[in-house]
Homo-oligomer: A and B are copies of this chain.
């Protein structure tokens, strides 16, 4: 049987990824102290890998596809097919950012001031490239973690560090002087796998279902009844995310209007619809939106 080798990220995204696959339709059962979880699809074989190493395995063909951060794919300089971006994380929906930070009371205010300075980071290659492209000569050191502490201790002059909400940065009194790059979670594929029609189809189907499940977290279904003379007005109020479904109702001059809308507009839209003459408005949760 044909089988796709799929890499899942170990660490902070592991649980969220397994939950996302469950919503998408695949049940993954982690095995205690084992990096090869079971999945209820004989066409898939899963491995749990460090995000830092994922792109290398996808590039080399050890894995056909994998989920990892854009940052680590760049760090490794890996040559892989970008399939889709997956916006999910523990704390917020913002992309994570790699920033350059210095001590709060440092004289350094821009990246040019870093000339001749010492910088600590987990993202050594990307950082080196960044400064080289700008002809700023810096010494860059690999950090095993707890990187913020190093600039506080005076061990280094600046750090290149990842942050989502800036709370660790703030908790150490650091100041951000530059944003190096944004990163997000990506679904990537091996080039040969992408050229294999069966594998490409499988990868695209997985991407479709993952994306459909993620969409459903921020979109709800709305249904309402609208009299004929107000139909046009109501239709204009509805956001054009998808075209609404309009059906005539039996034995009346009313219409049933159904649509999907983003959760964050509902609180303004429903009052407008009510004012516009819609009746019997109901909102319901969705589990997938394609």
Q: Which A positions have Cβ atoms within 8 angstroms of B? A: 10, 24-26, 31-36, 41, 47-50, 52-53, 57, 62, 143-146, 148-149, 152-153, 155, 167-168, 170-172, 204-205, 208-209, 212, 216, 220-221, 223, 225, 242-243, 245-251, 255-256, 258, 260, 263-264, 266-268, 270-271, 274, 279-290
Contact = CB atoms under 8 A, between A and B. Distances in A.
B282 A221 contact: yes
Instruction: Give the dominant DSSP class at A's interface.
Output: mixed
Given A31-B171, A155-B62, A250-B255, A260 B282 contact: yes
A50 B205 contact: no
B282 A289 contact: yes
Given A35-B146, A242-B279, A246-B250, 11 more contacts: A10-B145, A48-B146, A62-B155, A208-B274, A216-B282, A223-B245, A245-B256, A250-B255, A281-B288, A284-B286, A285-B287
Contacts of A270: 208-209, 212, 288, 290
A55 to B, nearest CB: 12
B284 A34 contact: no
B255 A205 contact: no
B144 A53 contact: yes
A73 to B, nearest CB: 14
A57 B285 contact: no
Contacts of A287: 220, 283-285
A223 B266 CA distance: 21
A221 B280 contact: no
Contacts of A53: 143-144, 146
A223 B264 CA distance: 23
Nearest to A10: B146
A51 to B, nearest CB: 9
A49 B147 CA distance: 9
Nearest to A283: B288
Given A33-B168, A171-B32, A286 B288 contact: no
A267 B26 contact: yes
A216 B283 contact: yes
B266 A146 contact: no
A242 B57 CA distance: 45
Contacts of A221: 282, 284
Interface hub of A155, A264, A282, A290 (most chain B Cβ within 10 A): A282
A31 to B, nearest CB: 7
Contacts of A170: 33
